[in-house]
């Protein structure tokens, strides 16, 4: 029976049957009428507007009890309970309530006025989400001050603050209802792919900077909190549908659909449930750059071309070395050697790359995200004590750029959480598990389609054989290269041909990177955390304690991690406490001290204590000055520890001691090396990167100068946790209608974890006596000269401190009456002595200057609003494993107009992002970001 009632509610919920009538008057603190206030039933799009004298009458089908939210520009919002029909209300609004008066919980793990939070915190509430000009709420985070959004693809955006991030942003944490949604395989969150749907979002809070003292290791650069609406507070059905197009020069205009529905119901005061479903489909930003990655100004005509979004051309060889090998390779057709002895003198020592395939031939650029979640909430005593179960699943197709560019297809992630909580404590445990689905590495797909057609050896053999033949026939160098390549390319699989398609299918279903490109994973982690707030028990101070435990189970079947023989498991835990004390200095001034400390211990590393101390001085409720000092730390990630992956350009070997020898590989020795008496094959384990290696850049210098003094010993140290000490000061204030939010920080990173490109020779010793000076070992030098070496990417800590500092200033106010104008400026700079640690990349990846502004009016006239958002990013240099390059400055404008039709509880929004149409990008190697034009219809939100 209940089900039927619920169903009929779902179906007819939108039709208004007036049953309840409420009358009221809205006044200010001095009992003067406030005209034009909005009166809305909480959780519904039902409401009315007060008249000039502050009076309103609301007729609704809702049956009391329910809540009314009354708001008016320039006043803080008030919620009142309606308990009976025909109730008469007098609502008193307080003036000048602003965003600073909003309640945040992330900064101290306890609700507090944003104004008084001890550290910088940004918040997106329902109002901001409704009025954003961005395509969805997650994108709108980009408009918060100090936030960088690195756009991987249409559906995978990576949020960061204060620099030092790539797409693999494992320094930044993302919590959805307290649950970390980092993907187990990758150890970082993949945007909102497995996140929330817009109509379920209650609030988004963002803490820039380290929060390790409360949130542990990963909350190092910052943390993003997303909170959903409780079905006890927000019931009914709400939905949104958004349709439009994405427009990009490379991929044209493509349809875009984003649909979401939320259904929540409170069955009784004890029990409530909700279900969310979201579906998004579009076409990704195509990445079509043919700029040469390795040679400045290089073009496709170059011998050793390696295009950014051209794959397969990463495979290259020194053709003189090939010629040497051909001199001792038997030609099966003739029985003689392929090249006569000494013929390598005819061949220049230059690198030649195979011909690659454009990325657009290796992916269909589908962008898809399907997610669902459900929750059951039980309050046995009808009070704040709640037991809940939440499940979340997400699947989708997107593009991720890490070491290479990955086509993430039918990726699946699930999360299950059990939680017990009341106002003073919570205890939760959850599981996060992923499956890589049909995902594949596009770079290796290009490489292995080539190999399926013609193995590298054969291809280079044809090239060099024909180069020599042409030379002996009278060709110049340039002509001989052209003839060599033409001969080697004979019979190439053209994109779209049946052979190409077959090789493509074979590659993307084969997880062995020497022949295929399938990305396999079924990793997971279990997490538990709990918190108890003693503030209701103690008077002298507010005290909290908490702790967490996490167990990782890495299971990539040997395709990412060295877990070829079964899952790798390890665990870490942390405990923390916080004491908060507020002193009233006088009637208008108070000071609040917060002290927190957290102890974390990973199975592999010594425990680490990270304290935080902060003080906030509030004057007159309108001025708050804060200062804090904290330390943070970050354990090396699962990849830092256990990766074992041949990325083509380099082999990545994680630095857990037991991992080093789990990676092993045979290498062919060059003709030159074999002539000098080396065996044809040499086996290296990952350990060589850490005990017999040069800094890769120094080998380049040596290649040019032939001077051994240019070589630098690498022998990367095994990775250990990185630490940050962060000092921050800030001011928040209200001056008439102007709201100021300013912060400045100085971060000092020690043992900064990053990757180092090193080169290990196949033979010879780099630094036998361990004095950090290059041994004058001619054998090792000859290995370098013969190109008998392998490039590794090691995970290590910089010996040099990395410092960064910055400030951000946000201003917001009302202009021309009721228009909202806001702007922020963020300055970020790193201070790192590259010369002191060559080869070390900090991946700072953030512009020195950012400027953002929004202008809008949610009620320009009745039921009509608009918003414009502008962002400027200065140019900066992007560093990441896929490639490095300059990101030019850009300006971008998003805009929306919206119209509300209250009697069908609907809001229509017409919007555009990147309205100017100037395509830009935020990271090297990705598709350019084009424009989106959309129309959305939101019901009951």
* CB closer to another protein out of 307 and 312: 307
Q: What is the DSSP string of 257-301?
A: EEEEEEEEEE-SSSEEEEEEEEEEEEEPPP-----BSSSTT--TT
Q: What angle in degrees, to the nearest 10, is found between the helix axes of 442-453 and 498-508? A: 130
Q: What is residue 829's three-state secondary structure?
A: strand
Specify the DSSP class assigned to residue 561: B
Q: What separation, in Å, do the N-terminal and C-terminal C-alpha atoms of the chain show? A: 27
Give the total residue count for the chain: 941
Least distance to another protein, CB of residue 848, Å: 7
* CB closer to another protein out of 381 and 877: 877
Cα(912)–Cα(473) distance, integer angstroms: 62
* CB closer to another protein out of 194 and 346: 346
* CB closer to another protein out of 607 and 888: 888
Least distance to another protein, CB of residue 934, Å: 26
* CB closer to another protein out of 467 and 504: 467
Least distance to another protein, CB of residue 349, Å: 5
Q: What is residue 238's three-state secondary structure?
A: strand
Tokens of 322: 């090939």
Cα(508)–Cα(37) distance, integer angstroms: 59
**Alpha helices (runs of H) in 342-455, residue ranges in sequence order:** 442-453
Phi, psi of 575 (to 5 degrees): -130, 150
Provide the β-strand partners of residue 581: 593
* CB closer to another protein out of 357 and 742: 742
Q: What is residue 679's three-state secondary structure?
A: coil
* CB closer to another protein out of 87 and 813: 813
Least distance to another protein, CB of residue 468, Å: 8
Least distance to another protein, CB of residue 341, Å: 7
* CB closer to another protein out of 291 and 554: 291
Q: What is the DSSP string of 69-136?
A: EEE-TTB--EEEEE-STT-EEEEEPPBT--GGGSEE-TTTTS-EEGGG-SS--EEE-HHHHHH--SSS
Least distance to another protein, CB of residue 813, Å: 7
* CB closer to another protein out of 1 and 345: 345
Provide the β-strand partners of residue 934: 244, 911
The tally of CA atoms less than 13 A away on the side-chain side of residue 147 is 27
Least distance to another protein, CB of residue 849, Å: 5
Provide the pairing of β-strand 906-913 with 931-939. Answer: antiparallel
Cα(193)–Cα(155) distance, integer angstroms: 7
Least distance to another protein, CB of residue 470, Å: 10
Cβ neighbour number for residue 719 with a 10 Å cutoff: 25
Cα(848)–Cα(875) distance, integer angstroms: 8
Least distance to another protein, CB of residue 568, Å: 36
- Whose CA is closest to 373, among 392, 354, 348, 398? 392
* CB closer to another protein out of 530 and 822: 822
Least distance to another protein, CB of residue 346, Å: 5
Least distance to another protein, CB of residue 345, Å: 4
Cα(265)–Cα(546) distance, integer angstroms: 32
Tokens of 702: 């040596």
- Whose CA is closest to 101, among 77, 81, 118, 120? 77
Least distance to another protein, CB of residue 163, Å: 14
Provide the pairing of β-strand 78-82 with 66-71. Answer: antiparallel
Q: Which residues bind another protein (CB under 8 A)?
A: 296, 320, 339-350, 471-478, 736-738, 811, 813, 815, 821, 823, 825, 848-849, 851, 853, 870, 872, 874-877, 884, 886, 888-889, 891
Provide the β-strand partners of residue 266: 272
User: Rounded to 5 degrees, what angle do the CA atoms 789, 790, 796 make?
Assistant: 125
Cα(571)–Cα(127) distance, integer angstroms: 41
Least distance to another protein, CB of residue 6, Å: 51
Q: Which residue has the tokens 């640690």?
A: 837
Least distance to another protein, CB of residue 169, Å: 21
Query: CA Rg, the chain, in Å?
Result: 31
* CB closer to another protein out of 601 and 623: 623
Is the N-terminal amide bond of 65 cis, ω within 30° of 0?
Answer: yes
* CB closer to another protein out of 31 and 476: 476
Cα(182)–Cα(169) distance, integer angstroms: 10
Q: 130: phi > 0 → left, psi -120 to 50 → alpha, else beta; which?
A: alpha
Least distance to another protein, CB of residue 874, Å: 5
* CB closer to another protein out of 333 and 478: 478
Strand stretches in 776-844, DSSP E: 789-797, 802-815, 819-831
User: What residues have CB less than 8 Å from 805, skipping those under 6 apart?
Assistant: 744, 745, 746, 747, 828, 829, 831
Distance of alpha carbon 210 from the chain centroid: 16
* CB closer to another protein out of 318 and 542: 318
* CB closer to another protein out of 644 and 810: 810
- Whose CA is closest to 792, among 761, 838, 751? 761
Least distance to another protein, CB of residue 752, Å: 19
* CB closer to another protein out of 76 and 304: 304
Least distance to another protein, CB of residue 782, Å: 13
Least distance to another protein, CB of residue 550, Å: 38
* CB closer to another protein out of 389 and 819: 819
* CB closer to another protein out of 801 and 848: 848
Q: What is residue 671's three-state secondary structure?
A: helix
Alpha carbon of 384 to those of 112, 423, 448, 538: distances in Å?
Answer: 18, 6, 58, 20
Q: What is the DSSP string of 401-414?
A: ESSSEEEEEEEEEE
């Amino acid at each position: 029976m209940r089900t039927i009632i619920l169903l009929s509610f779902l179906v007819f919920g939108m039709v208004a049957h007036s049953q309840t009538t409420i009358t009221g008057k809205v006044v200010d603190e001095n009992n003067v009428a406030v005209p034009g206030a909005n009166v809305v039933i909480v959780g519904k799009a039902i409401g009315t507007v007060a008249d000039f004298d502050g009076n309103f009458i609301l007729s609704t089908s809702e049956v009391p009890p329910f809540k009314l939210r009354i708001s008016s520009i320039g006043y803080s919002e008030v919620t009142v309970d309606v308990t009976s029909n025909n109730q008469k209300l007098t609502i008193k609004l307080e003036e000048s309530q602003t965003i600073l008066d909003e309640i945040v919980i992330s900064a101290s793990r306890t609700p507090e006025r944003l104004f008084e939070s001890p550290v910088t915190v940004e918040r997106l509430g329902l109002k901001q989400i409704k009025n954003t000009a961005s395509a969805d709420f997650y994108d709108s985070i980009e408009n918060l001050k100090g936030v960088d959004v690195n756009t991987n693809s249409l559906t995978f955006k990576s949020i960061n603050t204060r620099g030092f991030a790539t797409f693999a942003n494992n320094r930044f944490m993302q919590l959805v209802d307290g649950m970390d949604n980092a993907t187990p395989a990758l150890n970082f969150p993949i945007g909102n792919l497995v996140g929330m749907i817009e109509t379920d979002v209650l609030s988004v809070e963002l803490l820039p900077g380290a929060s390790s003292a409360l949130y542990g290791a990963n909350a190092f650069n910052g943390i993003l909190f997303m909170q959903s609406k409780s079905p006890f507070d927000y019931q009914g059905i709400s939905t949104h549908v958004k349709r439009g197009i994405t427009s990009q020069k490379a991929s044209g205009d493509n349809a875009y659909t984003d649909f979401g529905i939320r259904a929540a119901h409170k069955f009784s005061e004890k029990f409530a449930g909700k279900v969310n479903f979201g579906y998004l489909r579009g076409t990704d930003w195509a990445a079509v750059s043919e700029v040469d990655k390795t040679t400045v100004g290089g073009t496709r005509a170059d011998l050793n071309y390696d295009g950014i979004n051209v794959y397969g051309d990463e495979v290259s060889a020194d053709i003189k070395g090939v010629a040497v090998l051909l001199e001792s390779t038997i030609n099966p057709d003739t029985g003689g050697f392929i090249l006569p002895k000494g013929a390598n003198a005819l061949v220049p020592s230059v690198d030649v790359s195979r011909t690659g395939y454009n990325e657009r031939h290796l992916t269909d650029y589908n962008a898809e995200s399907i997610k669902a979640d459900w929750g059951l909430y039980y309050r046995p005593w009808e009070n704040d004590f709640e037991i809940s179960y939440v499940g979340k699943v997400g699947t989708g197709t997107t593009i991720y750029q890490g070491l290479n560019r990955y086509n993430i297809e039918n990726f699946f992630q699930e999360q299950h959480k059990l939680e017990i909580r009341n106002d003073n404590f919570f205890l939760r445990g959850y599981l996060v598990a992923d499956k890589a689905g049909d995902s594949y590495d596009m770079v290796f797909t290009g490489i292995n389609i080539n190999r399926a057609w013609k193995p590298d050896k054969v291809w280079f053999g044809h090239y060099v054989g024909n180069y020599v033949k042409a030379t002996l026939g009278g060709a110049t160098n340039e002509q001989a290269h052209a003839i060599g390549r033409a001969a080697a390319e004979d019979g190439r699989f053209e994109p779209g041909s049946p052979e190409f398609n077959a090789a493509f299918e074979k590659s993307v279903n084969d997880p062995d990177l020497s022949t295929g490109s399938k990305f396999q994973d079924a990793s997971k982690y279990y997490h538990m955390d709990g918190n108890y707030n003693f503030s209701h028990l103690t008077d002298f101070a507010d005290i909290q304690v908490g702790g967490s435990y996490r167990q990782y189970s890495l299971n990539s079947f040997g395709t990412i991690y060295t877990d070829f023989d079964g899952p790798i498991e390890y665990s870490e835990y942390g405990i923390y406490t916080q004491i908060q004390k507020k002193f009233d200095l006088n009637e208008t001034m108070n000071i609040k001290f917060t002290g927190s400390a957290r102890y974390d211990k990973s199975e592999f590393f010594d425990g680490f204590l990270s304290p935080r101390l902060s003080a906030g001085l509030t004057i007159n409720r309108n001025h708050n000055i804060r200062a804090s000092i904290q330390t943070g730390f970050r354990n090396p990630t699962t990849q830092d520890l256990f990766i074992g992956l041949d990325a083509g350009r380099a082999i990545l070997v994680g630095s857990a001691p037991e991992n080093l020898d789990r990676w092993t590989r045979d290498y062919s020795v060059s003709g030159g090396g074999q002539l000098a008496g080396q065996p044809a094959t040499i086996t290296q384990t990952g350990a060589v990167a850490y005990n017999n290696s040069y800094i890769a850049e120094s080998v380049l210098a040596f290649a040019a100068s032939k001077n051994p003094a240019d070589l630098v010993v690498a022998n990367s140290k095994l990775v250990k946790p990185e630490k940050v000490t962060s000092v921050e000061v800030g001011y928040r204030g209200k001056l008439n209608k102007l709201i100021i939010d300013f912060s400045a920080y100085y971060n000092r990173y020690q043992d900064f974890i990053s990757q180092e490109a090193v080169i290990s020779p196949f033979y010879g010793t780099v630094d036998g006596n361990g004095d950090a000076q290059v041994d004058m070992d001619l054998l090792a030098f000859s290995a370098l000269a013969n190109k008998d070496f392998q490039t590794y990417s090691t995970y290590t800590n910089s010996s040099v401190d990395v410092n960064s500092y910055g400030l951000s200033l946000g201003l917001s106010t009302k202009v021309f009456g009721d228009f909202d104008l806001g702007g922020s400026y963020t300055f970020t700079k790193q201070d790192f002595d590259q010369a002191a640690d060559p080869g070390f990349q900090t991946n700072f990846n953030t512009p020195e200057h950012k400027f953002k502004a929004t202008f809008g009016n949610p009620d320009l006239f009745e039921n009509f609003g608009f918003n414009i958002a502008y962002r400027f990013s200065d140019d900066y240099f992007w560093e990441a494993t896929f490639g490095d390059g300059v990101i030019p400055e850009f300006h971008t404008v998003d805009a929306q107009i919206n119209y509300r039709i209250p009697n069908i509880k609907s809001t229509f929004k017409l919007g555009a992002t990147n309205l100017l149409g100037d395509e830009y990008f935020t990271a090297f190697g990705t598709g350019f970001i084009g424009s989106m034009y959309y129309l959305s219809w939101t019901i009951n939100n």
